[in-house]
C-alpha cells in the first residue's frame, strides 16, 4: 500500500514523514523524472509505504513541483492521500485540500500544530470540519509525535476500504460557477471516463486553462469551442476572470467552513517572536551582514574547532589501523604487489578521504540547523533583490545554498525555479558553489600552507565561488539568457526549534552517502590510479612511478597547468581523478606520493609554494564538477552539446582565474 504525503511548504510535512518512517526510508526517483523523493516504510504498519511529495500550494501546473505532485497522484494512483495542514494557518492551507478532494482519492487530513493552536487560545471542532470537507480529520503534533499513530491507522483504514471524499461541490447551486462546472463536466464526461480520470478534476483544470489536460482528453474542435463559450459566459456573469472565479469559489467555501468550525487563535508567541527577530535578520541594512557573520562562525567552528578536532582524531584511528594491517601483511609475507595495493592504494586513498567525514558531518549539522529554524528561507527572501539585478530571482539562491552540500541535488532543486530561463541560468551557475566533496582538498592545503587560518581561507574560497557564479550569471543575462526573472513569492515560516530527529536523520543520510561514495566511486578510482602508477604499458611493475602509464597520461596534460604554477604530472593526474569525485584528488595525491594523510600536507610543500597552493585551490574550486553532476546537468538541460559547453566553460573560467591569481600574485612576491 502506497500513501502520498501532500502539503504546503513549511507545514511540518518532513517532520511527519520522519515520524512515520524513522530510518526506514530511501531515496527514489519519480518515474521518468530526475528528481529525488523520499520513500519510507511505515514503522507501525506492515507493507505500507509513504511517498513524500514536494511541498506545494496548489495543483496548478505553475512549477515542476506541482506537476510532479499532480502527475504522481493521477498516474501512479496511490491507495490514499495524507494531506498535512498547518492548523495555525488553516484557511490558506485548505485551498490545496479542496483541490486534492477533487482528485477523488481516499484521503485523510492531518491537522498539524494543534498544540500551538490550543496554546494561543484557539479551538477547532474536528467533527464539524470533517463533515464540512467530507473527509476524516486527525489532529496531530508532528514535532511531538502526538496523534501520529492514530493518523496512520485512519489513513490505512480509509485506503483499504476505498472511502472517497463525500463532499463534491464547493459552490452555491445557483451560482454561475456552479453552472459552468456542471456544463463542462457534461461536455467532457466520456473523455474523462475513457482515461479513468475524475471528471470534476478534469473540468476544473480545463476551466483554469490547463493545456496539458486539453491534450490528454483529446477534445474535438467543436468541443473546445463550446468549452470556451461556457467559460466566457461564466466570466461575464461573475465579472471575474476564470481563475479568479474559481479561487473566489474555494475561498468562500473555506471561509464559511472556518466560520462554523474554528475559533481562531490569538497571534501566536512564535509569530510575535519571529517578527522581532526579523527586524534584524531580514532588516534592510542588517540582513546580509548578519548572514555573513553567521556563515563565518559556522566555518570557524567547522574547520578550526569541532570539525578539525574530530578529523584529526579520525586520521589517527585510520593511521593506527593502517599500521596494524601493514604489520600483519608484512609478517604474513604477502606478495609485495598485493601489499602495495592494500596499503599504498586502498588505505592511503580511501583512508585519506574517510578522515574528512567528521568535517562534512559538522558542516551539514550547522546547515540543517539553519534550514530547520526557518532562517534559510529568509536568506532566499533577502537575496531576491540583489540577485534580481543580475538576472536571477531569489528562488535561485536556494539551489546555490544546496550547492554547498552537493551539486547533484542542488541542480535538481532548480526545478523549483518557475521560468525555464531562470532555471537554466541557475543550473549554469550552481556548480560554481563549493560542494562538500572539495572540503578534503581545502583542509589538506590549509594544513600545509595556511595553518591557523582555516576559517579565513574557507570564507575566501566560498565567497570566490559565489562571486564568480554571479558574474557569470550577469554576463549571460545580456547574451544567452536575455529577459527578466519572474516575480519571487515565498512564505516565511515562524522560527522554530529544530527537530533533533530530523537533524539526526539528515546527518545520517549525508554520512551514509559519503561512505557509499568512499567505498564505491573513490575506491574504484583509487585502485585504478594505483594500478596505472604501479605498472608500465607492458604491465611490468615499475621501480619509479615516473615510468608508469599514469605518468605518461599526466605528462600530456601537465604543460597546460604549468602557467598556473603546478605543472607536475602527479598534480595533473590528481585533477583528472577529480572528475570521478572531488575527494579523489586527495586520495590520488596520497597514492602517488606514497604517504599517509597525516604526512600528505608535509609532502605537498615540495610541489607547491603558498602562491601556487592558492592558485591550485582556486582551480579546484571552479573547474568542472564530478561526473555525477555532469550527468545531472545533461538530464536537466536535455542536451549533450550544452553539457559539454558547461564543462568547457567552467574549466576555462577556472584556468583563467588560477592564471590571474598566479601571475598577479607573482608581481608582489
Question: Is 86 found in the same domain as 208?
Answer: no
Average pLDDT over residues 78-94: 92
In a domain, 456, yes or no: yes
Q: How far apart are alpha carbons 406 and 410 in whole angstroms? A: 6
CATH number at residue 210: 1.10.287.1770
Mean pLDDT on 192-196: 89
Burial class (CB in 10 A: 0-12, 13-18, 19+), 557: middle
pLDDT band at 27 (very low <50, low <70, confident <90, very high): very low
Phi, psi angle pair for 467, to nearest 5°: -65, -45
Residues 86 and 149 in one domain: yes
Query: Are residues 104 and 220 both part of a single domain?
Result: no
Q: What average pLDDT does this structure show over 214-221?
A: 87
Ranges 170-174, 260-264, 590-594: which has the least confidence? 590-594
561 shares a domain with 620: yes
Average pLDDT over the chain reads 83
* pLDDT > 90? residue 272: no
Helix (H) or strand (E) holding 656: helix 640-667
Long-range contacts of 149-155 (CB under 8 A, 24+ apart): 149/44, 151/82, 151/108, 151/110, 152/20, 152/42, 152/44, 152/45, 152/48, 153/45, 154/108, 155/3, 155/80, 155/82, 155/108
Q: How far apart are CA 357 and CA 512, in angstroms?
A: 10
The total of structural domains in the chain comes to 3
Is there a domain that residue 607 lies in? yes
> What is residue 76's predicted lDDT score, i.e. its pLDDT?
86
Q: Are residues 339 and 387 in the same domain?
A: yes
Write down the pLDDT at residue 620.
Answer: 93
- Residue 152 has what pLDDT? 93
pLDDT for 174 equals 83
Q: What is the pLDDT of residues 443-476, one digit of tens each?
A: 889 988 988 888 888 889 988 998 998 888 888 8
The answer to the question of residue 600 being in a domain is yes
Is residue 278 situated within a structural domain?
A: no
Average pLDDT over residues 208-228: 88
What's the pLDDT at 35? 47
Picking from 263, 279, 297, the residue at the C-terminal end of a domain is: 263
Q: Which of 248, 263, 278 is the last residue of a domain?
A: 263
| Shared domain check, 93 and 124 | yes
Highest mean pLDDT among 296-305, 415-424, 458-467, 480-489: 458-467
H or E stretch covering 346:
none
Q: For residue 325, is it left (φ>0), alpha (ψ between -120 and 50) or beta?
A: alpha
Q: The pTM is what?
A: 0.66
Helices (H), 60-198: 64-71, 90-101, 114-119, 126-133, 148-160, 176-195
- What are the pLDDT digits (tens) for 392-420? 777 777 778 777 777 876 776 676 666 67
User: How much is the pLDDT for 619?
Assistant: 95
Q: Please indicate, yes or no, if residue 166 is contained in any of the structural domains.
A: no
Same domain membership, residue 188 and residue 118: no
Q: Give the sheet arrangement for strand 49-52, strand by strand.
A: 25-29, 36-41, 49-52, 2-7, 80-86, 107-112, 137-139
Backbone phi and psi for residue 436, each to the nearest 5 degrees, phi listed first: -65, -20
Using CB atoms within 10 Å of the CB of residue 488, give its burial: 0 to 12 exposed, 13 to 18 middle, 19+ buried. Answer: buried
Q: Look at residue 165 and tell me if it is in a domain.
A: no
Residue 632 has pLDDT above 80, yes or no: no
The pLDDT of residue 421 is above 80: no
| Average pLDDT of the segment spanning 260-285 | 84
pLDDT band at 24 (very low <50, low <70, confident <90, very high): low
Same domain, 555 and 628: yes
Considering 263, 280, 315, which residue would you say is the last residue of a domain? 263
Model confidence pLDDT, tens digit, residues 315-336: 788 878 888 888 888 888 888 8
Q: Is residue 495 part of a domain?
A: no
Parallel, antiparallel, or unpaired: how do β-strands 49-52 and 107-112 relate? unpaired
Per-residue pLDDT tens digits for 643-652: 898 899 999 9
**pLDDT of the residue at 318:** 81
Domain holding 367, by residue range, is 289-484+507-667
User: Quick one: average pLDDT of 594-603?
Assistant: 74
Whether the per-residue pLDDT at 367 is higher than 60: the answer is yes
pLDDT 10s digits, 91-130: 989 999 999 999 999 999 999 989 888 888 889 999 999 9
276-285, 376-385, 609-618: least confidently modelled range: 376-385
Residue 270 pLDDT class (50, 70, 90 cuts): confident
Shared-domain flag, residues 542 and 447: yes
pLDDT at 652: 94
Cβ atoms of 613 and 449 closer than 8 Å: yes
End-to-end alpha-carbon separation of the chain, Å? 68
Evaluate whether residue 279 is within a structural domain. Answer: no
Ranges 76-90, 308-322, 460-474, 649-663: which has the least confidence: 308-322
d(CA 468, CA 463): 9
Same domain, 180 and 146: no
CATH number, domain with residue 126 = 3.40.50.300
Higher per-residue confidence, 592 vs 26: 592
Buried b vs exposed e over 256-276: b needs ≥16 C-beta within 10 Å? ebbeebbebbeebebbeebee
Q: Which of 380 and 576 is assigned the larger pLDDT? A: 576
Question: Do 253 and 398 belong to one domain?
Answer: no
Quick check: 517 pLDDT over 70?
no
Same domain, 74 and 216: no
Asked whether 406 and 437 are in contact (CB, 8 A), the reply is yes
Give the separation between CA 444 and CA 571, rounded to whole angstroms: 14
* Beta-bridge partner residues of 52: 5, 38
Amino acid at each position: 500500500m502506497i500513501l502520498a504525503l501532500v502539503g504546503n511548504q513549511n507545514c511540518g510535512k518532513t517532520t511527519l514523514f520522519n515520524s512515520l518512517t524513522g530510518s526506514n526510508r530511501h531515496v527514489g526517483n519519480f518515474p521518468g523524472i530526475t528528481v529525488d523523493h523520499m520513500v519510507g516504510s511505515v514503522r507501525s504498519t506492515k507493507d505500507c509505504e509513504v511517498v513524500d511529495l514536494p511541498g506545494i500550494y496548489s495543483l496548478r501546473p505553475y512549477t515542476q513541483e506541482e506537476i510532479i505532485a499532480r502527475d504522481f497522484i493521477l498516474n501512479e494512483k496511490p491507495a490514499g492521500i495524507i494531506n498535512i495542514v498547518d492548523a495555525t494557518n488553516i484557511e490558506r492551507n485548505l485551498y490545496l485540500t479542496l483541490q486534492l478532494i477533487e482528485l477523488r482519492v481516499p484521503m485523510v487530513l492531518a491537522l498539524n500544530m494543534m498544540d500551538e493552536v490550543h496554546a494561543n487560545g484557539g479551538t477547532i471542532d474536528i467533527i464539524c470540519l470533517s463533515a464540512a470537507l467530507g473527509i476524516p480529520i486527525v489532529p496531530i503534533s508532528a514535532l511531538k509525535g502526538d496523534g501520529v499513530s492514530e493518523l496512520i491507522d485512519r489513513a490505512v483504514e480509509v485506503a483499504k476500504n476505498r472511502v472517497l471524499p463525500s463532499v463534491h461541490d464547493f459552490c452555491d447551486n445557483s451560482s454561475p460557477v456552479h453552472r459552468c462546472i456542471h456544463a463542462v463536466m457534461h461536455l467532457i464526461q466520456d473523455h474523462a471516463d475513457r482515461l479513468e480520470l475524475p471528471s470534476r478534476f478534469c473540468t476544473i483544470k480545463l476551466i483554469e486553462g490547463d493545456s496539458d489536460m486539453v491534450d490528454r482528453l483529446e477534445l474535438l474542435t467543436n468541443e473546445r469551442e463550446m468549452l470556451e463559450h461556457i467559460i466566457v459566459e461564466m466570466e461575464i456573469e461573475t465579472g471575474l476572470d476564470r481563475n479568479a472565479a474559481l479561487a473566489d469559489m474555494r475561498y468562500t467555501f473555506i471561509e464559511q467552513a472556518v466560520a462554523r468550525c474554528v475559533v481562531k487563535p490569538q497571534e501566536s508567541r512564535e509569530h510575535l517572536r519571529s517578527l522581532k527577530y526579523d527586524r534584524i535578520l531580514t532588516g534592510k541594512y542588517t540582513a546580509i551582514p548578519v548572514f555573513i557573520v553567521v556563515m563565518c562562525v559556522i566555518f570557524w567552528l567547522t574547520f578550526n574547532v569541532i570539525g578539525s578536532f574530530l578529523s584529526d582524531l579520525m586520521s589517527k584511528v585510520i593511521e593506527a589501523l593502517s599500521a596494524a594491517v601493514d604489520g600483519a601483511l608484512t609478517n604474513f609475507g604477502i606478495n609485495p604487489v598485493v601489499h602495495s595495493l592494500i596499503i599504498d592504494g586502498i588505505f592511503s586513498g580511501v583512508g585519506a578521504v574517510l578522515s574528512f567525514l567528521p568535517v562534512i558531518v559538522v558542516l551539514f549539522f550547522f546547515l540543517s540547523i539553519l534550514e530547520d529554524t526557518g532562517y534559510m528561507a529568509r536568506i532566499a527572501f533577502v537575496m531576491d533583490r540583489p540577485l534580481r539585478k543580475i538576472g536571477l530571482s531569489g528562488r535561485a539562491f536556494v539551489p546555490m545554498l544546496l550547492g554547498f552540500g552537493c551539486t547533484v541535488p542542488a541542480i535538481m532543486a532548480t526545478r523549483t525555479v518557475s521560468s525555464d530561463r531562470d532555471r537554466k541560468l541557475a543550473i549554469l551557475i550552481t556548480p560554481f558553489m563549493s560542494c562538500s566533496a572539495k572540503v578534503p582538498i581545502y583542509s589538506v592545503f590549509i594544513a600545509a600552507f595556511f595553518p591557523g587560518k582555516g576559517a579565513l581561507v574557507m570564507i575566501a574560497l566560498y565567497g570566490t565561488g559565489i562571486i564568480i557564479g554571479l558574474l557569470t550569471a550577469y554576463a549571460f543575462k545580456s547574451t544567452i539568457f536575455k529577459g527578466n526573472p519572474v516575480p519571487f513569492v515565498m512564505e516565511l515560516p515562524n522560527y522554530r526549534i529544530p527537530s533533533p530527529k530530523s537533524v539526526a536523520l539528515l546527518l545520517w543520510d549525508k554520512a551514509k552517502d559519503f561512505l557509499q561514495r568512499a567505498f564505491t566511486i573513490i575506491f574504484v578510482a583509487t585502485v585504478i590510479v594505483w594500478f596505472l602508477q604501479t605498472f608500465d604499458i607492458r604491465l611490468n611493475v615499475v621501480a619509479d612511478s615516473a615510468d608508469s602509464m599514469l605518468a605518461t597520461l599526466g605528462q600530456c596534460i601537465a604543460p597546460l597547468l604549468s602557467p598556473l604554477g603546478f605543472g607536475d604530472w602527479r598534480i595533473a593526474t590528481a585533477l583528472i581523478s577529480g572528475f570521478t569525485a572531488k575527494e579523489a584528488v586527495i586520495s590520488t595525491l596520497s597514492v602517488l606520493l606514497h604517504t599517509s594523510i597525516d604526512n600528505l600536507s608535509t609532502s605537498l610543500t615540495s610541489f607547491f609554494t603558498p602562491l601556487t597552493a592558492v592558485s591550485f585551490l582556486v582551480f579546484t574550486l571552479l573547474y568542472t564538477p564530478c561526473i555525477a553532476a555532469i550527468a545531472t546537468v545533461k538530464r536537466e538541460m536535455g542536451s549533450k552539446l550544452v553539457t559539454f559547453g558547461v564543462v568547457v566553460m567552467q574549466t576555462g573560467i577556472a584556468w583563467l582565474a588560477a592564471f590571474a591569481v598566479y601571475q598577479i600574485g607573482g608581481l608582489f612576491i
